Amino acid sequence: MTAKGKRALITGASSGIGEATAIAFAKAGINLALLSRSPEKLEKVADTARHEGVNVETLTLDLLELDRVRDEVSAFAEKCGGIDILVNNAGMAYTGKLMDTPLHHWQKVLDLNLTSALECVKGVVPGMRSKGSGIIINVVSIAGKQAFPVWGAYSASKFGLLGMSQALAAEEREHGIRVTALCPGAVNTPIWETETVESDFDRSKMLTPDIVAQSILQIVQLPDSAVVEELVLMPSGGAF
């Protein structure tokens, strides 16, 4: 699959890994369909990407509105002329011991990090099947392979996303759809500044969004005959 000229849908595209991936894709000639709940930030990313000469469409949507996600993404994909690449990047972090985690917080983490990703998949897979090709990259986390204290809800959602990725890969292989679970270690993004996270990690030792974005770009530039089913990307300095 030649990535140039294809169309990629990126969720959580207004900041962090999503923003960096959008710009990296644009520089590689990949047209964009960008989704975020933050319209002003999203338009800034879209404008930057357009300066690279690619076509960019945007959709403002809160992925926690689960009953809307599948239909909205499906309609957006149709408006864009089809989606060749889906990067499920949107998500949230949450810290707190499991015994102290309120049910509504637990549900919100799973809804956004896991269930909304599945609904986005449902929105684009029919179109990919009709073409007989497609790439889905689910941004998991090292916390989807290794659990950490006070990160229980987050880890549960990411373990689930990894399992979903593996099942999806097996189910859609016959339709020419390739699925990658990307499991990065800690990445220096605005997620560490959100009100649901309490952490004192040294962010200077973390991966940067640009490094993760370059890994995602390399995955989508592979020939059709190859797939990275799972990639663990860690900071070389030892920070998780």
Per-residue model confidence as pLDDT tens digits over 138-188: 999 999 999 999 999 999 999 999 999 999 999 999 999 999 999 999 887
Cα 211 to Cα 96: distance, rounded to the nearest angstrom: 28
pTM of the model: 0.94
195 band by pLDDT with thresholds 50, 70 and 90 = confident
Cα 159 to Cα 123: distance, rounded to the nearest angstrom: 22
Q: Is the pLDDT of residue 192 over 90?
A: no
- Give pLDDT, residue 239: 56
Q: How far is CA 230 from CA 55, 77, 85, 224, 238, in A?
A: 29, 26, 16, 16, 20
pLDDT digits (tens, 9 = 90+) for 19-54: 999 999 999 999 999 999 999 999 999 999 999 999
Cβ–Cβ < 8 Å for 113, 69: no
CB burial readout 151-172, b (16+ within 10 A) else e: bbbbbbbbbbbbebbeebbeeb
Residue type (1 letter), 228: V
- Domain boundaries, given as residue ranges, for the chain: 7-233
Q: Tokens in use for 126?
A: 């029919």
Give the architecture-level CATH label for domain 7-233.
3-Layer(aba) Sandwich (3.40)
1 band by pLDDT with thresholds 50, 70 and 90 = very low
Q: Is the pLDDT of residue 85 over 70?
A: yes
Known catalytic residues?
154
Cα 170 to Cα 131: distance, rounded to the nearest angstrom: 18
Cβ–Cβ < 8 Å for 93, 142: no
